[in-house]
């Protein structure tokens, strides 16, 4: 393995989590709220028997979920893949679980080697609010036209300055990102927005949804999405949609690293997706 002293191994892992139970991904230095990163580092460190720090493919906000978050960590502890997987999961709180772990080349980096990330946003478009999975689907009571939403979303394909969809606290060096794929589909009451981009700005997906919702309702024209994008002004866009419907579902890496993170999930959607 390149880049390491003898005895140190880099590992990659795929993590699934329910973000409703945690105060976002990033651990907090001066607060006691539970975070995904803090829980994972504590569990991995316990199995490794030494302090471990992790890096992820993309940090998620409070309330946001993941089915295919990718992390990496370094350790000199000698453990089998099964021991890492079962040991870490035994020490994780409910709502977080490793799905896969394996040694990788020392050049692998969960964030910097990622070529694209994919998200899915799920809306329960029903007149009445759901009791089950209330923190895993965004409820929208007003009828939405998914075809209009899909048509409008195509204006985002390609390389653009996404400042109009960027939260004020975003720390990204540049607002210019490349949107590779975006679609909106409906199955019964469930509407799914799927997006793949080179990277995402803070609240970018939720702010895109905030523009699509009034378009889907018919209150704004399909062309409004392109108009908002062109302004590069966050004040010209819509609301920031809730986080509970948002899932980090996949990362694209060079094939040499062999990370099994094709877009997947959430589980409730897979039987439907397998038919299309």
Q: Is 61 a catalytic residue?
A: yes
Evaluate whether 42 touches 107 at the Cβ level (below 8 Å). Answer: no
Report the candidate in 163, 167, 200, 206 with the shortest Cα–Cα distance to residue 181: 200
Q: What angle do CA 37, 41, 42 make, to 5 degrees?
A: 120
d(CA 198, CA 66): 18
165: left (phi over 0), alpha (psi -120 to 50) or beta: alpha
247 is in an annotated binding site: no
Maximum CA extent, the chain: 62
Per DSSP (E only), the strands in the chain are 9-17, 55-56, 65-75, 96-104, 116-124, 138-139, 158-161, 176-187, 190-197, 246-252
- How many other CB atoms are found less than 10 A from the CB of residue 262? 11
For residue 196, what are the β-bridge partners?
Answer: 118, 181
CB atoms within 10 A of CB 190: 17
Catalytic one of 61, 105, 135, 169 = 61
Give bridge partners of residue 183 from the DSSP assignment.
194
As annotated, the active-site residues are 61
Q: Which residues are annotated binding-site positions?
A: 119
Q: Which residue numbers belong to the known binding site for substrate?
A: 119
């Amino acid at each position: 393995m390149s880049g390491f002293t003898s005895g140190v191994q880099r590992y990659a892992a795929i993590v699934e989590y329910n973000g409703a139970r945690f105060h976002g991904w990033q651990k907090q230095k001066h607060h006691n709220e539970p975070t995904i990163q803090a829980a994972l580092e504590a569990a991995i460190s316990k199995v490794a028997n030494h302090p471990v720090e992790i890096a992820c493919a993309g940090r998620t906000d409070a309330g946001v979920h993941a089915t295919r978050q990718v992390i990496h960590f370094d350790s000199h502890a000698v453990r089998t893949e099964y021991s890492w997987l079962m040991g870490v999961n035994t020490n994780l709180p409910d709502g977080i679980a490793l799905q896969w772990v394996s040694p990788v080349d020392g050049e692998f980096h969960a964030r910097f080697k990622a070529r694209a990330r994919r998200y899915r946003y799920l809306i329960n478009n029903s007149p009445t609010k759901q009791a089950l999975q209330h923190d895993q689907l965004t409820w929208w009571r007003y009828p939405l036209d998914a075809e209009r939403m899909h048509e409008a979303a195509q204006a985002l394909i390609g390389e653009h300055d996404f400042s109009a969809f960027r939260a004020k606290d975003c720390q990204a060096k540049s607002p210019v990102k490349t949107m590779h794929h975006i679609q909106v589909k409906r199955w019964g009451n469930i509407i799914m927005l799927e997006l793949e981009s080179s990277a995402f700005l803070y609240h970018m997906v939720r702010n895109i949804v905030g523009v699509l919702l009034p378009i889907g309702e018919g209150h704004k024209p399909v062309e409004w999405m392109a108009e908002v994008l062109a302004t590069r002004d966050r004040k010209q866009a819509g609301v920031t949609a809730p986080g509970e419907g948002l899932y980090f579902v996949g990362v694209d890496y060079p094939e040499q690293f062999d990370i099994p993170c094709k877009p997947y999930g959430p589980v409730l959607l897979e039987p439907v997706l397998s038919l299309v």
